[in-house]
Amino acid sequence: MMNIGRRGVHYLHTLNNVPKNLTEKGQSRVIEASLTLIRERAKLKGELVRALGGAKASSSLLGVPLGHNSSFLQGPAFAPPRIREAIWCGSTNSTTEEGKQLDDPRVLTDVGDVPVQELRDCGIDDDRLMNIISESVKLVMEEDPLRPLVLGGDHSISYPVVRAVSEKLGGPVDVLHLDAHPDIYDCFEGNKYSHASSFARIMEGGYARRLLQVGIRSITSEGREQGKRFGVEQYEMCKFSKDRPFLENLKLGEGVKGVYISIDVDCLDPAFAPGVSHIEPGGLSFRDVLNILHNLQADVVAADVVEFNPQRDTVDGMTAMVAAKLVRELTAKISK
């Protein structure tokens, strides 16, 4: 697992022996090629959806296989292909619980993955990598009616994705964040892009008006202080029975550009999703999550599913199916 993080460092050291102008030219070509691939795929899928007609909003999968900003295990980098495999594995049909058909491209398309490791192998640092992720999200959004449904990756990806959505729409969004952890440290272990700091970056940037964090059950004093600093609405599991009526009848997005949903798979109790890096007992049931999603009144403009770790998914791929089910139901929530 450590090899993933070390490869980028190894290649960077190798590049130190190459003239700077050659390195920069090479990096620019790789960045442009990466964005071109996403751009052309998004154009193709957007043209298809528009030709079929009748879709006001259509979910489009975008994978961001990034794991090196995890503070513990880097396995989430392997998640996007496993989630796709589970979505289409044939063990269930293509109908969501709300009756949407996933095999209809007006409901769901796929524009592939941001080539994170290839970019890091060229010595591209996290500042530029985050910008590339944001630009990739914007390329999807440019192809109306496509809306990005992002497959992580660790939770650090939510910052560049939410930033892109807010900038592209021209204003802040409301964010519904389901997680065992608030991920709002100012700078965790010296890494401003840590998966434990993504929502601090989002709130600092003014990309979210309201941030509701649900399922929290591992929070430090800094997490609570940061929550107060940014006006975050934190709903801890120890009070979930009291908060349930409110959380299962949410109405979000009035007066802003829409609603973004971020689901860390570890919001679920490990009985439902053991294949995560940070196993934290006492979480939400899968039906708790679906009740929150199904009853939510909102215009969902984008979403992500993050922190599924295939390397810990030892129970016959159960967590892959859980992540896929979350993607399926988010697809139904976005598409219309």
Is the alpha carbon torsion for 89, 95, 98, 104 positive or negative?
A: positive
The response to whether 126 counts as a known ligand-binding position is: no
Distance, in Å, from the CA atom of 245 to the CA atom of 26, rounded to the nearest integer, reads 55
Other Cβ atoms within 10 Å of 151 Cβ, number: 27
The response to whether 278 counts as a known ligand-binding position is: no
Distance, in Å, from the CA atom of 268 to the CA atom of 279, rounded to the nearest integer, reads 9
Distance, in Å, from the CA atom of 200 to the CA atom of 299, rounded to the nearest integer, reads 24
| Residues pairing with 245 in the sheet | none
Q: Write down the H helix ranges in 216-281.
A: 221-230, 240-247
What single DSSP character describes residue 101? B
Distance, in Å, from the CA atom of 322 to the CA atom of 325, rounded to the nearest integer, reads 5
∠ CA 195-201-207, nearest 5°, is 125
The response to whether 313 counts as a known ligand-binding position is: no
Cβ contacts of residue 204 below 8 Å, gap of 6+?
none
What single DSSP character describes residue 182? -
The response to whether 299 counts as a known ligand-binding position is: no
Q: CA 291: distance to chain centroid?
A: 20
The response to whether 127 counts as a known ligand-binding position is: no
The response to whether 264 counts as a known ligand-binding position is: yes
Q: Write down the H helix ranges in 231-317.
A: 240-247, 286-295
Count of helix runs (H) and strand runs (E) in the chain: 11, 8
* Residue stretches of the annotated binding site: 155, 179, 181, 183, 264, 266
* Residue stretches of the annotated binding site for Mn(2+): 155, 179, 181, 183, 264, 266
